[in-house]
Amino acid sequence: MHAVEKKVRAFVRVKPTAQFAQDVIKFGPDNKSIGIYIQKDAKKGTVNNSQTDWSFKLDGVLHNSSQELTYETVAKKLVSEALTGYNGTIMCYGQTGAGKTYTMTGIASEYKHRGIIPRAVQQVFRAIARSVDSFVTVRVSYLEIYNETLCDLLSTMRSSEDSDMEMAIVDCPQGVYVKGLSIHSVSDEEDALNLLFEGESNRVIAEHTLNKKSSRSHCIFTIYIESRFRVLSDDRCIHSKINLIDLAGSERLNKTGSGWRVLKEAAYINRSLSFLEQMIIALADPRREHIPFRQSKLTHFLKDSLGGKCNTVLVANVCGEALHVEETLSSLRFATRMKWITSEPVINVTYDSEGTVKALEKEISLLKQELALHDILVNHSLVTYEPLTDVQIAEIKSQIHKYLRGAIDEIDIVNFRQLQEVFRQIRLFVRQQEGEVETRLRSKYVLIDRNDFATIAAAQKVGIVDLDHHLLKKQDVETKPTPVLPKVDEKKKPRATSERTKKEGTKHLFSGKDLTANLPPKNKVIIPTKDLDVKEKERSEDIANIDAQPPKPVTEEDSQHPSSPPSREAAFEQFKEECGSEINRIFKENKSILLARRKRSSTVARRINIIKQEIEDIKKALEAQKQERLQQGEYVDEEGHLIIDEKEFLLIMKLKDLKEEYRCSYAERQDLKAEIQYCQQMVDRCRNKLVSEFEIWYSESFLIPTYVQNALKQHGNIRPGMIPINRVMCLEEDEQDRFEQMQEVMLPYGPDSVAFYRAKMKTDQQHTFNRTMSSLKLMHKKPGYIRAAGKDKALSFLRVT
């Protein structure tokens, strides 16, 4: 595919401030140019040829613009093209406190002020919802570069085994990727925003004079999109990624007043931004052969975004105050240099040849078998390698029938395809014979499933089977005075009975049409139909005598309880597969997580014991070395420092490493204990929920009277006193569902903001839980830290959360 050369787009966004210098910063009428004007410094004398005005031409100037306008101007087109297969990168650059993080992520507590990343996520999933001709898979990752160290901001969302992997930037034919970075699949906007908010809470921030929440690292949020089309070939796959980069701000130490730690971070930030500018200058120069991508982790990661086949947009964030005019000039110069860079974006299309490869492998295997058989059967000259024709298949079928009837003694095998067809025809013949046998059995017998409790109960009443579900002998059946139930017509069956029978999942009739199940020998009861015919004749005579008598009134006890409900064990298994499948799935997932945490805790405990043993051994070895040194005499250098040999030095260093590993393992063990306690609570809650829901379902399905079931329908009426108040409360709408429905109506921006606020709420709940667990760990370490009443309150708060 031919690539079209494109320039990098660059915008400038001016931070709104009350001290905006209108005389210093001026905007052009086309809203695409910006000018900087300063006065000459009188202290430099009369002859002063320094430049006092600058003009910059960009793709747009955003001044006093809303977050929505900023997104539509900067990112909307890029995200739309990413959905068609183009890679995209949006990067915010500028001095500290200029509004880069606000532009990129916005304010997490307000939907209106959300930034580019949440809006891009929303646009992606809205486009997926409208798409009808493709299957789209979305994944996200969140990377942080802090002091030239790669950090996974979503490492808390994966297992500890995966998080131990060392991270590194790797070049491959498909581009640059980060080895060890976790990539999470998301199914909707809420999942993606939940990961975004979780990563934001793990970022490194600090406070200085210019910014109370200054980002101390470069952060890259990446959205991976993969599309497979329904209409086109299944082998075609379009994939793309969107890198949303929030760079740390450049700092001048005389303005920020940074302390020792912040000072070190500022040094790393300024150095990486300096390397980034050097790379930009090299990319803008067509005569440069070497591009210094590997000078820093940031420039290495941006190799695809700036020097590859990618749509790139830069947002230069500047302050509008005269005090920061030098930093503003530096940011505008950087944006101008970015516009010099050209790229050639192309659609990323791959063809999945897995299906073709499998078909070819199967064909090769078949041909190998053909040749092997041909080598064995060298006496056969008529060997064909083509698929069998209809005439050949019919001939093989005829030979098999003759062979089974005994007309011929053997079938001549010419090739491997013929051998396969012989076995296939034999299988079809066996299945046909099984169907004929089953048809003959059904014409003489009626089958009752052993799990069909209602039908078995009816068969016991008519005396066809005993209490142990054994078929009675013919003479025993004839001597019983109990009348046989008639075969009720489907059209005349009462409506309430039909609904109850459908809900219980049982068949209440003995007709062969209703019992068309297979013939497993162990769980079926076979009843001869001639016994039913005899009893049917007797029953018809009884009905003729009973018609003249008035009908007996139905007792209240018979109308309130359905006959022969299934056992609770069988009903519980049915409930877990049907109505309670979701709760059962969550219960199993929580239980597996709990088992994994316990297994990990056991592993860490064993590792701690091994480390303790190694520490003891090294201490003994060091003591032996010390005694040996005392016996031989100690040596000191000119400054009076003790000189030790290499072996003792290595033992000391190993002891130091083991102590550090012991501290880390002990901390991990404490965290795992807290997680196990929380997971155990979740498992108990799910188990109790599953049992309580089953009790409600069992009562409603098998124990609630018919008239109450009718009252509980959509147009029914529940009168006071019909069912207990606690049963009525159990049938009410779930409080969480009511709250979520109210959310969609009452939120300030309607249903569109539901995913945003739900994701924020989940993140806040997780942070609240983490703080509570930290408090509980502090209680265990310091028993006298709070009173007993306070501890009880903390535990009750944990249960509520």
End-to-end alpha carbon distance in the chain: 55
- What is the tens place of the pLDDT at every residue in 238-258? 889 999 999 988 777 666 656
Confidence of residue 177 (pLDDT cuts 50, 70, 90): confident
Model pTM? 0.52
Predicted pLDDT of residue 535: 44
Element (H, E) at 495: helix 495-504
Predicted pLDDT of residue 241: 93
Residue in this structure with the two tokens 């959300």, named with its chain if needed: 114
CA 786 from centre of chain? 40
Predicted pLDDT of residue 530: 45
Element (H, E) at 251: none
Confidence of residue 753 (pLDDT cuts 50, 70, 90): confident
As a whole number, mean pLDDT of residues 435-452 equals 75
As a whole number, mean pLDDT of residues 609-618 equals 90
Q: What percentage of the chain reaches a pLDDT higher than 90?
A: 15
Q: What is the DSSP letter of 378?
A: T
Predicted pLDDT of residue 385: 62
Predicted pLDDT of residue 502: 39
- What is the tens place of the pLDDT at every residue in 89-115? 999 999 888 889 999 999 887 888 889
Residues 464/467/468/470 CA torsion (nearest 10 deg):
-10
As a whole number, mean pLDDT of residues 739-749 equals 57
- What is the tens place of the pLDDT at every residue in 11-54? 999 988 777 878 888 888 888 899 988 877 767 666 667 778 88
Which 3-state string (H, E, C) describes 529-577? HHHHHHHHHHHHHHHHHHCCCCCCCCCHHHHHCCCCCCCHHHHHHHHHH
Confidence of residue 490 (pLDDT cuts 50, 70, 90): very low
- What is the tens place of the pLDDT at every residue in 253-310? 666 656 667 778 888 888 999 999 999 999 888 888 888 888 899 999 988 888 678 9
What average pLDDT is seen over the chain?
A: 75
User: Can you tell me the distance from the alpha carbon of 516 to that of 284, in angstroms, rounded to the nearest whole number?
Assistant: 78
The DSSP result for 193-230, as a single string, is HHHHHHHHHTS-EE--SS-TTEE-SEEEEEEEEEEEES
306 with 341: CB under 8 angstroms? yes
Burial 132-171 (b: 16+ CB within 10 A, else e): eeeebebbbbbbbbbeeebbbbbbebeebeeeeeebebee
189 with 129: CB under 8 angstroms? no
pLDDT at 786 over 70: no
pLDDT at 660 over 60: yes
For the ranges 122-131, 188-197, 533-542, 588-597, the lowest mean pLDDT is seen at: 533-542
Burial 299-324 (b: 16+ CB within 10 A, else e): bbbbbbbbbbebbbbbbbbbbbbeeb
